[in-house]
């Protein structure tokens, strides 16, 4: 089409013959399709389409043709480009081939609509939307696929991922949203228009892209299609490449462990959990022939003569019995036992904060260790203390404390030391609430220092919410509308913080240790208690002035100036006859393991919000107090319960037990949890051994994790110092995960990384595939996955002509396969 | 209290009630939503971007979708807004359709949804009947990232001649599709 003819069309705006108009329109549309339409032509198109319905129809038909051709061609996939590896790009033959087959056999897909749908779904997702929504589909599919396990059609194909710059969850929908950038980064070879929109620097040479393009073939089968076949371990390839020096399952060298040496935790008393169970499900256990150490029939468990039949002395037996009763009452059956692989992964994540290392998976799946052995090992690991310190530091000061001078690092270290030494929790609470001094001399001060803004209102609210499981902050301004909470109660509690102040002292030589990265800090905060007395004053909604004296749970404190009120409060709540600290801690710990606590929200306990299983909560709290507020013991009880041995998969028989839909949690299964950002980070490093090639010291590693994690954090900037992380599993988090440099280095095939080792190992292909699967997903690949992966391998290698090319092709294929495993929904969840 | 310790304190929520049905609907209607958007923003790359934005909103709002209702119509409502948003972003670009155009096309495109599947099937059949060289040209042209210009360079042909060929082939395809549909309607 020449410029003349186009100009012609634009100028002859007055033509009113229908045929002329159509010819004109045809030219403009053609110009449009080739991106050559001028502004005048666009204006004319505008006119024609608005005015004339025949033109509109033609326009839409043309658009359909253009769009369908474009869409279908996309099916063939993107140009493969290797990711972060020295592997050279290979010719894009495959793309051509598949488009060829589409075009040459156009009727086949029509005859087989199911197949077409699958193909178009998969390929479409592959490159049309570069990842963003795609990831969402993957995650949604995962959420939907696991818990319900019912017979379901294959989930739609899910593509992998995107690449791109830091995706900030907070600014997602903005104009320069990462989605747009990602997409271009993903397809640097798209049209000029696309290229012009971005500074060249952001167009990155397709890291992530190739992976995306090439693995989709494998992936849907892997992570989606057969989310949970009946036979878990059907593929049992002997593994000749077992590491020579495989140590105990959990005591393996773990790059994540702290430099902290663990004080030996108290030897746990052996619970009777193992003799106890729900008999009804034994039949189901045949699905999991390997599930070891499962509790056995409960009916044989009869307590001592003093026991009622339904009041066993053993705490785990008691919990099991109560939960079982609850299931009966609710008319549900619990989910079947989790396979060993599912259980191992979960218990690692819950206790240690990361997935099991490959060696631990090998040891457990191939060995004879019992579940209780694993639990015992994990409780002794330094990672246990590290994990719980992370959890509580996040709760106490957030991932990104805003108050100046507050050091999350030091608080975390304080917690780590406390948990490692198995310091009773009530003592930790006492320390936190009564702390005085500067962060460097007393790291426990960081908690309150982080919340002394706004006249210590947040300090009051956080202490109540986190440590006591009580929400008083709303009663700051008014009586609670639904509960007996009076406004006065908040102020009575706040009255304990009346003397508390933050002052500044000149920074010492150690100042740099407190400054969280911000060098040159000259003053450090100090937490002090002034010697003042008297009540606090507050105003009711009617404008009346009231006074509040320090009163906690009926205990009145001398309001004189010589009494340190905060210390008194700490003493009161840490006392064993005040069960609130224990109740709050048990509830939250239970939530950590099961995904839901006994109350929702977990930190709003009180008569207005009765717990779902009051006896279980009360009993655990009593036992927790009796154990000396022993976190390890509490963890051991919880992971020994029958309920914790069960799969996270929802069955038709317990479909109603779905707290996500608002039902009270019945704990007939373990609810699916998205990994936290920290878990995701540590697990990625562990699975890929990315770090072992660039190992640095612990502090540095910890800081890097925190930097990474901060991408997910947003502070609400409210009076209550709230902070939210976008949970793993959200679109944004997935994006960050996929784009991050650690993921790229994780896929390097250098020696020392998992991938590097697997590529170089002299073992069968299926063994290699199994190693990758065990490393990423802590389980054996399913036969369909093995087949898909083998096919992928074969297809790659078949194109190679020389030995060297063959090796490269194989490495590339393994890289794709590993990526598919890491990128599976299954990876980012605790299940 | 804005915070929910149950872990649901997310900015972008994954709808927990999301079920297979939604995922399937979502997947099923991707092509049509793309075509719907393309009609209003005729550059495929741009349309893809808008689709992506639309998809994000669809997920975010999935809880507002009532199962059993018309997913496509629901999605179109979201897409229309995203198209307008994208227009605002691109205001400075010369090649922009008017708002009236977008509206008119959106209305019509939504109505013509029923025949889309037939059209697509007809297209596949028609592609098969093209001369091999024509089919090859179409294949090259619509390969990801290609344009008429790049194809011309690949083939060492003048751009104009490639444009003319493409125009001819697309016209052939359009007419073939029309014939097939007419024949089907009679049968």
What is the structure's pLDDT at B12? 38
- Rounded average pLDDT over A731-742: 55
> What is the per-residue pLDDT for A694?
45
- Which helix (H) or strand (E) segment is A766 a member of? helix A765-777
Max alpha carbon distance in chain A (Å)? 104
Structure-token pair, residue A814: 């393994």
Of A39-48, A155-164, B31-40, B63-72, give the lowest mean pLDDT range.
A155-164
Q: In sequence order, what are the residues at sequence separation of 6 or more whose Cβ sits closer than 8 angstroms to the Cβ of residue A128?
A: A71, A74, B30, B34, B48, B51
Q: How confident is the model at residue B11 (pLDDT cuts 50, 70, 90)?
A: very low
Cα angle: A299, vertex A303, A305; to 5 degrees: 125
Cis peptide before A601 (omega within 30 of 0): yes
Burial class (CB in 10 A: 0-12, 13-18, 19+), A788: buried
Q: What is the C-alpha to C-alpha distance for residues A271 and A640, in angstroms, rounded to an integer? A: 8
Cβ neighbourhood burial of A397 (10 Å; 0-12, 13-18, 19+) = buried
- B24 and chain A in contact, CB less than 8 A: yes
Residues on chain A touching B53 (C-beta within 8 angstroms): 173, 177, 179
- Dist CA A665 CA A616 (whole Å): 13
Direct distance between the N- and C-terminal alpha carbons of chain B, in angstroms, rounded to an integer: 65
Secondary structure in 3-state letters for A794-826: HHHHHCCCCHHHHHHHHHHHHHHHHHHHHCCHH
Q: What is the pLDDT of residue A477?
A: 61
Q: What's the pLDDT band for A475 if we cut at 50, 70, 90?
A: low
As a whole number, mean pLDDT of residues A202-227 equals: 32
pTM metric for this prediction: 0.56
**Looking at residues B39-67, what average pLDDT do you find?**
86
Distance CA A256, CA A676 (A): 16
In A, minimum Cα distance to B44 occurs at A67
Q: Do B139 and A99 touch (CB under 8 A)?
A: yes
Give per-residue burial for B64-96: e unless 16+ CB within 10 Å, then b: ebeeeeebbebbbebbbebbbbbbebeeeeebb
Residue of A nearest to B121 (CA): A110
Å from B70 to nearest chain A CA?
Answer: 19
Highest averaged pLDDT of the listed ranges A356-370, A649-663, B12-26: A356-370
Of A699, A815, A665, whose CA–CA distance to A746 is shortest?
Answer: A815
pLDDT band at A713 (very low <50, low <70, confident <90, very high): low
- Asked whether the beta carbons of residue A107 and residue B124 sit closer than 8 angstroms, the reply is yes
C-alpha to C-alpha distances, A602 to A352, A387, A577, B140, nearest whole angstrom: 22, 20, 22, 59
Give the best-scoring range by mean pLDDT among A202-216, A536-550, A604-618.
Answer: A604-618
The pLDDT value given to residue A340: 93
- Looking at chain A, the whole-number percentage of residues with pLDDT higher than 90 is 24
Q: What is the largest CA-CA distance in chain B?
A: 68
> How many residue contacts between A and B have a Cβ separation below 8 Å?
291
Chain-chain contact of A72 with B119 (C-beta, under 8 angstroms): no
Residue of A46, A157, A193 lying closest to B43 (CB–CB):
A193
CB spacing of A140 vs B139 below 8 angstroms: no
Cα–Cα dist A648/A596, whole Å: 13
* Burial degree of A86 (CB within 10 A; 0-12, 13-18, 19+): exposed
Taking contacts as CB-CB distances below 8 angstroms, the residues of chain A near B112 are 57, 60
Q: Round to whole Å and give the CA distance between A718 and A711.
A: 19
- Of A71 and A237, the structure prediction assigns the larger pLDDT to A71
Q: Which of A22-26, A762-766, B2-6 has the lowest mean pLDDT?
A: B2-6
CA distance B149 to B163: 8
Q: Which segment of A716-730, A806-820, B53-67, B69-83 scores lowest on mean pLDDT?
A: A716-730
Residues 2-21, chain B: which have Cβ within 8 Å of A? 2-7, 9-20
Residue contact B56–A144, C-beta within 8 A:
no
* Contact criterion met (CB < 8 Å) for B24 and A156: yes
Q: Locate tokens 């050279």: which residue?
A: A88
Selection from A382, A381, A347, A379 nearest residue A361 by Cα: A347
Residue A81 has pLDDT above 90, yes or no: no
| Cβ neighbours of A731 in B, within 8 Å | 12, 14, 56, 59
Q: Do B120 and A730 touch (CB under 8 A)?
A: no
Query: What is the distance in angstroms between the Cα of B5 and the nearest Cα belonging to chain A?
Result: 6
Whole-angstrom distance, CA of residue A412 vs CA of residue A610 = 32
B132 to B116, B128, B137: CA distances (angstroms): 26, 9, 9
B74 - beta bridge partners?
A: none
Closest C-alpha among A492, A405, A483, A412 to residue A444: A412
Q: Are A643 and A323 in contact (CB under 8 A)?
A: yes
CB-CB neighbors (< 8 A) of B5 in chain A: 588, 591, 597, 601-603
How far is the alpha carbon of A624 from chain B, nearest alpha carbon, in Å?
A: 22
The residue of chain B with its CA nearest to that of A3 is B160
Taking CB atoms and an 8 Å limit, are B24 and A727 in contact across chains?
A: no
Secondary structure (DSSP) of A537-554: EEE-TTS-EEEE--EETT
Q: How far is it, in rounded angstroms, from Cα A683 to Cα A383? A: 12
Q: Which residues contact A14 (CB under 8 A, 6 or more apart)?
A: none
How high is the pLDDT of residue A697? 53
Report in angstroms the alpha-carbon separations of A679 from A390, A684, A685, A725: 10, 8, 10, 13
More confident residue, A823 or A646: A646
CA–CA gap between residue A525 and residue A502 (Å, rounded) = 6
Confidence bin at A691 (pLDDT 50/70/90): low
In Å, how far are A138, A380, A402, A454, A703 from A407, measured between CA atoms? 37, 27, 10, 19, 12
For residue B49, give the nearest of A180, A725, A730 by CB distance: A180
Contacts of A707 (CB under 8 A, 6+ apart): none
**Helix, strand or coil for residue A582?**
helix
Chain B interface mutation, best of A9, A23, A25, A34, highest count of B Cβ atoms under 10 Å: A34
Chain A contact set for B44 (CB, 8 A) = 66-67, 70
Q: Using the beta-carbon criterion (under 8 Å), do B108 and A60 form an inter-chain contact?
A: yes
Task: Give the C-alpha distances (Å, rounded to integers) separating A312 from A191, A271, A301, A348.
Answer: 71, 12, 9, 29
Pinpoint the alpha helices (H) of B18-69.
20-28, 30-40, 44-60
Q: Is the pLDDT of residue A124 over 60?
A: no
d(CA A78, CA B79): 25
What average pLDDT does the segment A521-526 reach? 74
Buried b (16+ CB within 10 A) or exposed e, A292-303: bbbbeebeebeb
Q: Are B147 and A26 within 8 A, CB to CB?
A: no
Of A814, A701, A826, nearest in space to A220 by CA? A826
Quick check: A353 pLDDT over 60?
yes
Return d(Cα A68, Cα B11) in angstroms, integer.
35
Alpha-carbon gap, residue A471 to A460, rounded angstroms: 10
**Which whole-number Å values give the CA distances from A376 to A247, A371, A388, A816, in the listed order?**
16, 9, 16, 36
Question: What's the whole-number mean pLDDT along residues A122-149?
Answer: 34
CA-to-CA separations, A350 to A343, A356, A376, A591, A673, in angstroms, rounded: 10, 11, 14, 11, 10
Question: Which residues 122-151 on chain B approach chain A with CB closer than 8 angstroms?
Answer: 123-125, 127-128, 135, 138-139, 141-145, 147-149
Residue pair A118/A714 in contact by the 8 Å Cβ criterion: no
Whether residues A65 and B28 touch (CB distance < 8 A) is answered with: no
Q: Which residue has the higher pLDDT, A243 or A467?
A: A467
> Of A312 and B126, which is predicted with more confidence?
B126
Residue A467 has what pLDDT? 94
**Residue positions counted in chain B:** 187
Confidence (pLDDT) at A447? 94
Percent with pLDDT over 70 in chain A: 60
pLDDT of A725: 56
A118, pLDDT greater than 60: no
Across the range A236-263, mean pLDDT stands at 35
pLDDT at A3 over 60: no
| CA neighbor of A458 nearest in space, from A444, A471, A445 | A471
Record: contact A67-B35, CB cut-off 8 A: yes
Q: How far is CA A191 from CA A323, A518, A822, in A?
A: 60, 44, 31
Band (A770; pLDDT cuts 50, 70, 90): very high
Residue A746's pLDDT is 66
Q: Are B35 and B41 in contact (CB under 8 A)?
A: no
Q: What percent of chain B has pLDDT over 90?
A: 7
Average pLDDT taken over every residue of chain B: 80
Residue A551 Cα to chain centre, angstroms: 40
Q: What is the nearest CA distance from A296 to chain B, expressed in angstroms?
A: 32
Instruction: Write the residue in A62, A124, A604 that is nearest to B174 by C-beta.
Output: A62
Chain A residues touching residue B46 (CB < 8 angstroms): 193
How confident is the model over B142-183, as pLDDT tens digits?
Answer: 888 788 888 888 888 888 888 888 988 999 899 898 888 888
pLDDT tens digits, A588-605: 999 999 999 999 888 888
Q: What is the CB neighbour count within 10 angstroms for residue A368?
A: 8
Cα(B86)–Cα(B92) distance, integer angstroms = 11
Indicate whether A682 pLDDT > 60: yes
User: CB neighbours of A361 closer than 8 A, spacing ≥ 6?
Assistant: A341, A344, A774, A775, A778, A779
Question: Which member of A46, A71, A724 has the closest CB to residue B3?
Answer: A724
Q: Is the pLDDT of residue A115 over 50?
A: no
Cα dist. A174→A168, B86, B88, B165, B167 in Å?
10, 11, 12, 41, 38
**DSSP H or E stretch at residue A830:** strand A829-830
Judged against a pLDDT cut of 80, whether residue A43 lies above it is answered with yes
- pLDDT of the residue at A615: 92
User: Distance (Å) from the C-alpha of residue B77 to the closest C-alpha of chain A?
Assistant: 18
Q: Which residues pair with A555 in a beta bridge?
A: A552
In angstroms, rounded to a whole number, what is the distance separating the alpha carbons of residues A624 and A618? 10
Mutual angle of helices A132-148 and B44-60, in 10-degree steps: 40
Question: Among A1, A107, A595, whose Cβ lies nearest the Cβ of B128?
Answer: A107
């Amino acid at each position: 089409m020449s410029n003349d003819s186009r100009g012609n069309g634009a100028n002859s705006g007055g033509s009113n013959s229908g045929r002329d108009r159509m010819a004109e329109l045809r030219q403009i549309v053609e110009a449009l399709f080739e991106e050559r339409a001028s502004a005048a032509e666009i204006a004319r198109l505008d006119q024609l389409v608005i005015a004339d319905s025949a033109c509109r129809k033609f326009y839409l038909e043309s658009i359909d043709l253009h769009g369908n051709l474009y869409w279908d061609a996309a099916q063939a996939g993107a140009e493969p480009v290797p990711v972060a590896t020295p592997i050279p790009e290979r010719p894009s033959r495959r793309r051509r081939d598949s488009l060829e087959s589409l075009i040459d056999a156009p009727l086949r897909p029509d005859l087989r609509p199911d197949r077409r749908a699958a193909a178009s779904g998969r390929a479409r997702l592959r490159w049309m939307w570069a990842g963003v929504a795609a990831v969402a589909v993957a995650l949604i599919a995962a959420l939907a696929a696991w818990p319900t396990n019912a017979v379901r059609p294959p989930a739609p194909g899910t593509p992998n991922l995107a690449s791109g710059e830091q995706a900030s969850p907070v600014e997602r929908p903005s104009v320069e949203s990462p989605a747009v950038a990602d997409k271009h980064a993903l397809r640097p070879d798209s049209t000029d228009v696309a290229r012009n929109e971005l500074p060249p620097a952001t167009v990155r040479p397709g890291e992530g892209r190739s992976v995306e393009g090439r693995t989709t073939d494998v992936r849907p089968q892997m992570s989606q299609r057969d989310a949970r076949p009946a036979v878990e371990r059907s593929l049992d390839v002997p593994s000749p490449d077992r590491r020579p020096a495989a140590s105990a399952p959990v005591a393996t060298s773990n790059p994540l462990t702290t430099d902290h040496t663990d004080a030996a935790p108290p030897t746990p008393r052996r619970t009777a959990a193992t003799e106890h169970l729900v008999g009804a499900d034994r039949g189901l256990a045949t699905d999991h022939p390997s599930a070891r150490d499962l509790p056995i029939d409960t009916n044989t468990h009869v307590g001592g003569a003093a026991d009622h039949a339904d009041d066993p002395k053993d705490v785990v037996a008691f919990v099991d019995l109560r939960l079982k009763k609850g299931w009966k009452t609710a008319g549900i059956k619990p989910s079947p036992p989790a396979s060993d692989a599912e259980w191992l992964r979960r218990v690692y994540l819950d206790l240690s904060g990361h997935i099991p290392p490959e060696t631990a998976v090998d040891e457990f799946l191939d060995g004879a260790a019992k579940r209780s052995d694993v639990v015992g090992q994990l409780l002794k690991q330094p990672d246990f203390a590290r994990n719980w310190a992370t959890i509580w530091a996040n709760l106490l000061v957030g991932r990104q404390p805003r108050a100046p001078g507050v050091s999350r690092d030091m608080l975390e270290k304080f917690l780590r030391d406390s948990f490692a030494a198995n310091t009773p929790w009530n003592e930790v609470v006492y320390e936190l609430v009564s702390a005085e001094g500067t962060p460097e001399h007393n790291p426990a001060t960081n908690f309150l220092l982080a919340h002394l803004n706004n006249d210590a209102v947040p300090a009051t609210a956080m202490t109540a919410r986190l440590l006591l499981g009580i929400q008083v902050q709303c009663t700051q301004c008014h009586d609670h509308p639904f509960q007996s909470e009076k406004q006065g109660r908040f102020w009575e509690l706040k009255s304990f913080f009346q003397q508390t102040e933050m002052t500044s002292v000149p920074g010492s030589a150690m100042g740099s240790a407190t400054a969280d990265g911000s060098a040159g800090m000259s003053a450090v905060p100090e937490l002090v208690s002034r010697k003042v007395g008297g009540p606090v004053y507050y105003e009711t909604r009617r404008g009346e002035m009231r006074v509040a004296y320090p009163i906690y749970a009926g205990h009145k404190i001398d309001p004189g100036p010589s009494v340190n009120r905060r210390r008194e409060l700490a003493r009161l709540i840490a006392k064993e006859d005040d069960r609130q600290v224990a109740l709050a801690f048990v509830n939250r710990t239970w939530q950590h393991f099961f995904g839901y606590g006994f109350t929702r929200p977990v930190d709003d306990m009180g008569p207005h919000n009765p717990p779902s299983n009051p006896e279980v909560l009360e009993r655990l709290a009593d036992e927790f107090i009796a154990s000396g507020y022993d976190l390890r013991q509490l963890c051991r009880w919880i992971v020994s319960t029958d309920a914790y041995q069960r799969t996270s998969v929802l069955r038709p028989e317990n479909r109603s037990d779905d707290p996500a839909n608002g039902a009270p949690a019945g704990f007939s299964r373990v609810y699916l949890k998205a990994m936290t950002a920290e878990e995701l980070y540590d697990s990625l490093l562990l699975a890929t051994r990315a770090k072992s090639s660039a190992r640095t010291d612990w502090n540095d590693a910890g800081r890097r994790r925190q930097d990474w994690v901060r991408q997910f954090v947003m502070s609400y900037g409210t009076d209550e110092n709230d902070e939210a992380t976008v949970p793993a599993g959200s679109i944004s988090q997935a994006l960050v995960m996929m784009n991050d440099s650690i993921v790229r280095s994780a896929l390097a095939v250098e020696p020392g990384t998992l991938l590097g080792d697997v590529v170089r190992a002299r073992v069968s292909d299926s063994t290699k595939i199994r190693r990758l699967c065990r490393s990423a997903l802590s389980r054996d690949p399913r036969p369909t996955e093995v087949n898909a992966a083998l096919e992928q391998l074969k297809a790659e290698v078949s194109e190679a002509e020389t030995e060297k090319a063959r090796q490269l092709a194989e490495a590339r294929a393994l890289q794709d396969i590993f990526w598919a495993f890491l990128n599976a929904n299954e990876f980012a969840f605790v299940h | 209290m804005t915070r929910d310790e149950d872990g649901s304190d997310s900015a972008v929520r994954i709808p927990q009630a999301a079920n297979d049905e939604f995922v399937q609907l979502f997947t099923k209607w991707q092509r049509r939503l793309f075509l719907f958007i393309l009609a209003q923003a005729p550059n495929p790359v741009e349309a893809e971007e808008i689709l992506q934005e639309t998809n994000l909103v669809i997920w975010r709002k999935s809880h507002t979708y009532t199962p059993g209702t018309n997913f496509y119509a629901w999605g179109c409502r979201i897409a229309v807004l995203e198209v307008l948003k994208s227009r605002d972003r691109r205001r400075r670009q010369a090649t922009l359709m008017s708002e009236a155009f977008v509206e008119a096309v959106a209305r019509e495109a939504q109505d013509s949804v029923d025949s889309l599947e037939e059209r697509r099937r007809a297209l596949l059949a028609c592609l098969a009947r093209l001369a091999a060289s024509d089919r090859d040209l179409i294949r090259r042209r619509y390969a990801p990232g290609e344009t008429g210009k790049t194809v011309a360079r690949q083939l060492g042909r003048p751009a104009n001649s490639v444009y003319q060929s493409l125009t001819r082939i697309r016209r052939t395809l359009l007419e073939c599709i029309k014939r097939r549909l007419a024949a089907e309607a009679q049968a």
